[in-house]
Amino acid sequence: MDAPDRDVKPLPRAQSEVRPPLINLKPLNWFFDINRAMSLWPVTFGLACCAIEMMSVSMSRFDIARFGAEVFRPSVRQADLMMVTGTVNKKMAPALVRLYEQMPAPKFVMACGNCAISGGPFKFEGQYNVVEGVDQLVPVDIYVPGCPPRPEAILEGVFAIQEKITGRRWWPLPEELPPDPAPKSKK
C-alpha cells in the first residue's frame, strides 16, 4: 500500500541582515574583531549525542576557557556563537530559526557533527522528519564533521571561526604524532 501523501511544509529560512557599523574605522574594527574572536559566547544549545562532546569541550580536560569561549549563555540575546550539535528535525526547525534570529549580529554558526551537516545516519530515502543539513535553515560558517566529532575537532572549529573573524590563526597547529616504534621481536 502506498504511503499517504503528507502536507510538506517548506522549511523556514532565517532572515539575517548585518548593517555596517556606525563608526567604520579600520584600526577600530581590527581591535573589535580580535576582542570578538577571543570572547565568543556560545548558546547553551544541544540537540542530540553530539552535545555531549560540546559539554566535554567545556570541562577541564579540553578546557575551551583557554580560548575564551567558555561562557555558555542560556539566552541567545547574549550569545554570538551557535554550535548546532545534533540532529535537527523539522519540528525543531522553526525554533532553531527563531533562536538564530534573536542572536545579536555579528553571529556565527558551527554545524557540529554529521547530523547537523547533512542529516548524518538519518539521511535515507523516505525519511520525512530530519532536516538534511542545518544550512537549509541558517547560514553556517564552519562545518565540523564526525559522528560525533572529537572535542579537539570542536576546538578546531572554534579556531576556524576566530580565523574567519580576524583573518589569521592564533594557535599553533597540532603536532604530528611520531610514528609507532617498530615492534620488538620476541626472543
Chain contacts with ligand SF4 (rule: CB under 6 A): 48-50, 86-87, 113-115, 120-121, 147-148
Residue closer to ligand SF4, measured from CB, 37 or 47:
47
**CB atoms closer than 10 angstroms to residue 29:** 13
Dmax (CA) for the chain in angstroms is 76
Pairing mode, strands 142-144 and 81-85: unpaired
CA angle 128/130/133 to nearest 5° reads 130
Identify residue 130 by its one-letter amino acid code: V
83 or 138: CB nearest ligand SF4 = 83
Task: Provide, rounded to whole angstroms, the least separation between the CB of residue 143 and ligand SF4.
Answer: 12
Identity at 64, one-letter amino acid code: I
Could you tell me the three cell numbers for 71? 561562557
- Looking up cell 556565527 gives 108
Smaller CB distance to ligand SF4: residue 28 or 95? 95
**Least distance (Å) from ligand SF4 to the CB of residue 149?**
8
Least distance in angstroms from the C-beta of 80 to ligand SF4:
23
Which is closer to ligand SF4, CB of 42 or CB of 86? 86
CB of 92 to ligand SF4, least distance (A): 13
